A and B are shown apart, each in its own frame.
Chain A
Amino acid sequence: NAGVMQNPRHLVRRRGQEARLRCSPMKGHSHVYWYRQLPEEGLKFMVYLQKENIIDESGMPKERFSAEFPKEGPSILRIQQVVRGDSAAYFCASSRTRDRGVQPQHFGDGTRLSIL
């Protein structure tokens, strides 16, 4: 069952360290989305990427956060110099096309990031 795969499932970092979160989309999907979720809240959009391109990063903090989706390999969400406020669950979703109603976004099970 080749769903959206995220790793690690849990990540603990100390303040000031870097966090790297990985996402392998479903087979045949070339559109990747990253979302962030705080406890008891809905998911908040961060960034949308296609292979080698960032399409929309309107939800990304302007500093310390970056994302990439290389030609080969998983999509990476990178958080530099982490702070306690970065603690959250980060979810990745993928879709085959942009044709809404034909290919809804499918989500992975997330990475729970904890900052000590």
Chain B
Amino acid sequence: GESVGLHLPTLSVQEGDNSIINCAYSNSASDYFIWYKQESGKGPQFIIDIRSNMDKRQGQRVTVLLNKTVKHLSLQIAATQPGDSAVYFCAETPAGVDTADKLIFGTGTRLQVFP
């Protein structure tokens, strides 16, 4: 059943350090994954995505790693900045035309950056 009212796991990082946020996804048939950043009072903001035929993808200061064997996704943020403080969600899309591309979100991790 659903878990209601749980506090989000929190990752506290010093400014300038690298951050690694992890996500375990649920559906081995998922073929597309996205990381979103959500700041307080705002909607999710796209960071980076990856297809299941890849195991690594890099963007500006961010890298996503995909391990399909253990259904694990990670987001690495280099040289973390105060502006990176937010809640980070991974999302997956199961394969197949009937899924209508709905995103299935993970529970989220709160990233706190301190000076």
Contacts and interface: CB of A to CB of B under 8 A. Distances in A.
Interface of A: 4, 6, 31, 33, 35, 38-45, 48, 55-56, 58-59, 91, 93, 95, 98, 100-101, 104-110
Contacts, number: 75
Interface residues of B, number: 30
B70 interface: no
B4 A55 contact: no
Contact of A43 (B7, B32, B51, B89): B89
Contacts of B43: 4, 6, 91, 93, 107-110
B21 interface: no
A45 B41 contact: no
B46 A48 contact: no
B101 A48 contact: yes
A106 B103 CA distance: 12
B35 to A, nearest CB: 10
Contact of B44 (A31, A59, A101, A107): A107
A108 B46 CA distance: 11
Interface stretch (B60-68, B76-84, B105-113): B105-113
Nearest to B98: A56
8 contacts: A40-B8, A42-B108, A43-B103, A95-B101, A98-B101, A104-B49, A105-B34, A109-B43
